Every structure is written in structure tokens, then in C-alpha cells.
Amino acid sequence: MATLEISEPMFAETIESNKLVILDFWAEWCGPCKAYGPVYEKISEEFPDVVFGKVDTEAEPELGRLFNIKSIPTTIAFKEEIGVFMQPGALPEDALRDLVNMLKGLDMDEVREELAKREQEKTE
């Protein structure tokens, strides 16, 4: 599956209706983004069951602000509607592949438990 251009109107639906979504926040003028793009595209083709989206921070500034994007490229991942990964900088091909495999195996029940525990600690 090729990467999807993600716009603000389709952002929530994309996150809500897919089990695993990986986003690349980028801009046309960004040299590292241009270098990362082909790597991101190649890995997206290896995982047809994962949604790989690209968010152009120039065209979608609200999404950039929503995630407090300070540098690009930035990779963000959502699994079962929960943000589980965020890292600025271009990821090497092997690291991106490893990330996708790790996220696919991530136990979301454990993640939800940990989030609930943190919420509980905040209220105490």
C-alpha cells in the first residue's frame, strides 16, 4: 500500500478506523524529509496491513501544532487510537522496519494498563 496524504479532515477517521497508523510529518523544502521520503515509501510497501500517512506541515499547520512538531521529519505512530511513538529526525531503513515490527507486536492491553496507572497516580 502506498502512503496516504493525510489532511486535517481525514486525520481522526484514519486513526480511528485503522489498527496501526504511522505518520511522517514533513515539508517540501526540508532536505532530510526528501531523503527520508523514499525510505518511508519503501517500508510502507513491505507492510500492506499498516497505514503509512504523510502530513505536509505547510499544508496542514494545525496538525503540526496539535502534535507540537518542532522539527521535521517527525515520525508518529498510533496503535488502536493511542499514540505510542514519536521521534523527530529521519529513521534509517532498518530502524523504521524494526519499529513497525515492534509496534505490530506491542501488547495494547499492557499499554492501556500503564496509562490507567499513570492517570491514577496523577489524581492521588
Q: Known catalytic residue: 33?
A: yes
| Catalytic-role residue among 6, 21, 23, 33 | 33
Q: What percent of the chain has pLDDT over 90?
A: 87
Fold of 4-123: Glutaredoxin (3.40.30)
Out of 6, 20, 30, 103, which one is annotated catalytic?
30
The verdict on whether 56 is a catalytic residue reads no
Q: What is the pTM of this model?
A: 0.91
What does the pLDDT read at residue 120? 87
pLDDT in tens, 31-80: 999 999 999 999 999 999 999 999 999 999 999 999 999 999 999 999 99
Q: Could you tell me where the DSSP H helices lie in the chain? A: 8-16, 31-46, 61-66, 93-105, 108-123
